[in-house]
């Protein structure tokens, strides 16, 4: 779901090397990471609680906490409660490395959940791998999070589907369900998330017989999109694909409709927040669709929705749901093999048909990506309805 930058790998490598040299309890022998002590199993929460991405990280952290609270209230695991130690990655890749280093070396966590942003997950991954501590990333959708140069990263996993899956689903939906022949891409040029999704959508849409007739760009935090939208209007395309986050999406949709653009507008999971209705307006969002991880009307997700509302007195957004899924995955791995760090890794890799908040997950051992369903949502008169549900493949 979120972007990454290669330049942060150097920070991760340096910190990982220092940590590997200085730690003896954390990475000595064949068993890495921490361990359960006394009546507790210590796990790390490394999320963006402050900074530009705090809205993503804080919601994911809330979902994760709920999953852990549920198992603790049910008696824990073999009589031991799970203790979460929280760190704030401060929406910064270097700080994510620092936070992971502290959690592993000082707090002796047996696994990490988070961060939310792809760049921050990639930054911490070397430190975690050097110390054989598994990371579950709730919302990092870039393929390179778990696979690098064709090889899977042994200790890095995720609970979300990846960018290529989203783009392929929406390209097929445009071509087959909507019978679209032409499309415009309107991308956030400051976001690798958006650019990656746009590139794959174009490839898949054109392979299905469609044509991308125009590409335009904006920057995150832009407020006025009318100049580009006026150009887009001249293309008279059947669909406009806007793979971006809800703050900009709401403004783009609102301004597009004000200009008289009535084309179908498509998006991805970055749209998935109720605030998009407040920004765009109910009428403007008519004839828009996006894919995401769950639909609140689905019977399979009601237990999670009710639990989350009961805990926080609010509806969960997609980040909260994926944080909860990550927590359920970690609990399952510990239940099946105890709190040894490497056994946790093995058990995350072999997750099969696990019931989580957004549905059912099976882990693909070759890629460390979950095999899970995708839903396409239609916005109409301020409400959301399920247009189609695509079963997991793999």
Q: No. of H helices and E strands in the chain?
A: 12, 17
Give per-residue pLDDT as tens, 288-308.
Answer: 999 999 999 888 899 999 999
| 127 and 63 in a common domain | yes
Same domain, 99 and 56: yes
Convert the pLDDT of each residue in 36-61 to its tens digit: 557 899 999 999 999 988 989 999 99
Answer yes or no: is pLDDT of 381 > 70.
Answer: yes
Domain boundary among 259, 292, 325: 292
Give how far Cα 165 sits from Cα of 173, 271, 333, 373, Å: 12, 16, 26, 10
Q: Is residue 379 part of a domain?
A: no
Helix (H, G, I), strand (E, B), or coil: what is residue 216?
strand
72 burial level (CB within 10 Å; 0-12, 13-18, 19+): middle
Is the model's pLDDT at 200 over the cut of 60? yes
* Confidence at residue 338, expressed as pLDDT on a 0 to 100 scale: 87
Q: What is the domain count for the chain?
A: 2
Does the pLDDT at position 362 exceed 50? yes
- Would the pLDDT of 10 be above 80? no
Evaluate if residue 13 carries a pLDDT over 70: no
Domain range holding 167? 163-292
**What pLDDT, in 10s, does the model give residues 124-165?**
999 999 999 999 999 999 999 999 999 999 999 999 999 899
Q: Are strands 359-364 and 354-356 parallel, antiparallel or unpaired?
A: antiparallel
* 2: in domain: no
For residues 189 and 268, membership in a common domain is answered with yes
pLDDT at residue 65 greater than cutoff 90? yes
Chain mean pLDDT for the chain: 90
Percent of the chain at pLDDT above 70?
90
The predicted model gives 156-183 an average pLDDT of 95
pLDDT at 253 over 80: yes
**Is there a domain that residue 330 lies in?**
yes
- How does residue 274 score in pLDDT terms, banded at 50, 70 and 90? confident
**23 and 85 both lie in a single domain:** yes
**Kind of pairing between the strands at 359-364 and 369-371:** antiparallel
For 109, phi and psi rounded to 5 degrees?
-70, 150
- Residues with Cβ within 8 Å of 227's Cβ and at least 6 positions away in sequence, in order, are none
Same domain membership, residue 135 and residue 14: yes
Q: 386 in a domain, yes or no?
A: no
Q: Is the pLDDT of residue 20 over 50?
A: no
Q: In this structure, what token pair is assigned to residue 280? A: 């765009």
The pTM of the whole model exceeds 0.95: no
Give 240's contacts (C-beta < 8 A, 6+ positions apart). Answer: 183, 184, 185, 186, 232, 256, 261, 263, 264, 265, 266
Q: Are residues 319 and 353 in the same domain?
A: yes
Distances (CA, A) of 108 to 128, 131, 360, 369: 12, 11, 30, 26
- In this prediction, residues 268-277 reach a mean pLDDT of 91
Q: Is the pLDDT of residue 1 over 90?
A: no
Residues 31, 132, single domain; the answer is yes
**Does some domain include residue 383?**
no
pLDDT at 373 over 60: yes
The average pLDDT across 186-215 equals 95
**Both 25 and 144 in a single domain?**
yes
Please give the Cα distance from 376 to 266 (Å, whole number).
Answer: 10
Whether residues 311 and 287 share a domain: the answer is no
Q: pLDDT-derived band of residue 29, with 50, 70 and 90 as boundaries?
A: very low
Q: Does residue 388 form part of some domain?
A: no
Same domain, residue pair 251 and 355 = no
Do 217 and 142 share a structural domain? no
Domain at 270, CATH number: 3.40.50.2300
Mean pLDDT over 250-271 rounds to 97
Is residue 392 in some structural domain?
no
| Whether 335 and 194 share a structural domain | no
Assigned domain for 251 exists: yes
Q: What pLDDT sits at residue 393? A: 57
Average pLDDT over residues 175-179: 96
pLDDT beyond 80 at 33: no
């Amino acid at each position: 779901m979120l972007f990454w930058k290669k330049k942060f790998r150097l920070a991760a490598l340096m910190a990982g090397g220092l940590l590997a040299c200085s730690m003896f309890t954390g990475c000595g022998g064949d068993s890495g990471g921490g361990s359960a002590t006394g009546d507790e199993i210590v796990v790390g929460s490394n999320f963006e609680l402050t900074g530009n991405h705090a809205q993503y990280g804080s919601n994911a952290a809330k979902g994760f906490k709920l999953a852990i609270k549920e198992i603790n209230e049910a008696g824990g695991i073999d009589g031991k409660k799970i203790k979460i130690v929280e760190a704030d990655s401060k929406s910064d890749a270097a700080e994510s490395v620092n936070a992971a280093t502290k959690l592993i070396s000082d707090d002796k966590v047996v696994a990490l959940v988070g961060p939310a942003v792809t760049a921050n997950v990639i930054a911490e991954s070397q430190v975690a791998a050097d110390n054989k501590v598994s990371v579950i990333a709730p919302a990092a959708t870039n393929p390179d999070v778990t696979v690098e140069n064709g090889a899977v990263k042994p200790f890095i996993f995720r609970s979300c589907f990846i960018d290529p899956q989203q783009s392929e689903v929406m390209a097929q939906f445009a071509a087959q369900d909507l019978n679209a022949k032409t499309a415009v891409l309107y991308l956030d040029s400051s976001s690798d998330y958006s650019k990656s999704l746009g590139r794959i959508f174009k490839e898949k849409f054109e392979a299905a017989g469609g044509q991308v007739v125009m590409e335009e760009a904006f920057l995150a935090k832009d407020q006025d999109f009318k100049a580009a939208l006026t150009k887009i209007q001249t293309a008279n395309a059947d669909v406009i694909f806007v793979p971006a986050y809800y703050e900009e999406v709401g403004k783009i949709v609102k301004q597009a409709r004000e200009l008289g653009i009535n084309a179908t507008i498509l998006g991805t999971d970055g749209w998935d927040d109720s605030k998009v209705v407040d920004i765009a307006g109910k009428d403007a969002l008519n004839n828009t669709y996006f894919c995401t991880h769950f639909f609140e009307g689905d019977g399979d997700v009601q237990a999670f929705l009710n639990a989350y509302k009961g805990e926080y007195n609010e509806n969960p957004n997609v980040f909260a749901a994926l944080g909860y899924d990550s927590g359920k995955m970690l609990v399952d791995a510990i239940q099946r093999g105890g709190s040894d760090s490497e056994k946790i890794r093995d058990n995350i890799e072999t997750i099969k048909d696990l019931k989580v908040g957004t549905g059912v997950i099976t882990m693909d051992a070759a890629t460390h990506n979950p095999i899970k369903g995708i839903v396409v949502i239609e916005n109409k008169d301020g409400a959301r309805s399920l247009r189609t549900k695509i079963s997991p493949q793999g």
